Structure 1
Amino acid sequence: MILSGMSLSDLFLLVTALAGAGALTGVLAGLFGVGGGTVIVPVLYELFRILDVPEDLRMPLCVGTSLAIIVPTSLRSFFAHRVKGAVDLSVLKIWALPIVIGVVGGSVIARYAPPEVFKLVFILVAGFSAIRLLFGRDSWRLGTELPGRIALRIYGVVIGVLASLMGIGGGQLSTLLLTFYGRPIHQAVATSSGVGLLVSIPGALGYIYAGWGRAAEHPDVAAIQFPLAIGFVSLIGAVLFIPTSVLCASFGANLAHKLSRRKLELAFGIFLSLICLRFLLSL
């Protein structure tokens, strides 16, 4: 953890910037109905860029911090959906080990991969999601029933790797997959809340390992440039993001209720497209 060399004015700047970024994330999350890294990672990326976090540390720090932020949200979401009986535990039992294996694999990749890898994964997955939101039809299906256990386990590993490299809870990926196989959207969302737990907890721990000692490779970096981090998890980022994002999510949600479902899909699709373009330009 880097603490030395940070003045009170630097600390105030960092706290204010992170709280503001958390508030912006909450509004966007409430507006688009997502609470994961799809919003958190690009917001953190711009903030850490302003704070001059080195390029080779910036993207993994965003991803690791995002996974840590998602942990309490995933816990709350999963238990809320489980109480309502909407979670398909049989699918989660099949996915549990493969997803964790995928997350561990993604964490290992994170320790050695250049920042371009994280950006490319984000561009590909977010870009596909944007295409589906902007141009997709309800008739798009991979099948009417879920595939067998072997195929589901393969899907689980892929979800784990991609989610851990994007800094998302995996719910977006698993929901997309389940609906492509004809599962009702409410059941897909509820089941995917459990995926968030399988990804975020081992993912956050994996990024602590992946970034351990990496800051020491930049002795010229000031404390504010690698904000109070353990490995690739910014502790102050996680602590400040959670309350401000939760507090401001209601503002975005109120705005969302004033828009039609199609307008929300178009808005989120455009938002994801802009994020993809931003990361493309930074490659």
Structure 2
Amino acid sequence: MSAPATTPPSLRKTRGSGERSPRSIAFAIVLWACLVVAVLFLLTLIVTTLVDGWDRLDSRLFTEYPSSRPQEAGARPAILGSIWVVGTTAVLTIPIGVAAAVYLEEFADRNTWYNRIIELNIQNLAAVPAIIYGMLALGILTLFGVQQKNIVIGAALALTLLILPVVIIATRESIRAVPREIRDGSLALGATPWQTTWRQVLPAAVPGIATGSILALSRALGEAAPLLLLGALTFVSFDPNGLLSGYTTMPIQIFGWTARPQAAFHELAAATSILLLALLLAMNGLAIYIRNHFQKRW
């Protein structure tokens, strides 16, 4: 008569362990409670902002300049300033970020000490607070003898330093997701490594690169701290017209209006916040569309 089969000790389930243990259930309840509380606070904030600023979300917000009289004020310079600053940031960030990611992922020797240091610094810089990049940009402008710090190119420099690590990391992940077989097939047909990267790898990685770049630029659009450190103006009554022009952005304009005691300025700040939120949601929606529509399944 054969002995009954016994379960190995490593496979035996102890009482109170696993996903249904009291501790696991209590931890899951706490997590869901935190999520519900955070969502409720977010919804309350969004609804309150919509209620406060809906009446001022009209054409005056887009066409009028800031004024001491809130009924005549608008956010035209802030809207144009945001376009100038974020557009310049995109021109500076995307080519440098993509080029750095291509070098590190396709051509760099990962065994050399300086490449390992570069990769470590890129990963660490992605978590540095935004205000630090404002201080770094301020130091760079001072080093080059720029007297007027509150200019479009200075703001773009600070935001470029802020989102460049994010763009590099997102681009590297997109390049890494391209199957190795595509590279091997291109090289087997006689293409050089650069031709393979330019004509095969980069086109296949464009959806991920575009998604990461748009999300990084949406973060730059909502930043105010590094720009305030550079002396960005909170009251601008002119349209920015170049890289050396003074400017303000929507987050800075919101900051300036919320500091005023009049309730009408708070309504203006709420209306501008609605516009900024709509732009951020549109950019994130565009990133999701690009990812879902153009991403290839290997």
TM norm. shorter chain > 0.5: no
TM-score by length of 1: 0.30
Q: Report which of the two structures shows the higher radius of gyration computed on alpha carbons.
A: 2
TM-score by length of 2: 0.29
Query: Which structure carries more relative contact order (alpha carbon 8 Å, separation 6+)?
Result: 1
**Structure with greater helix percent:** 1
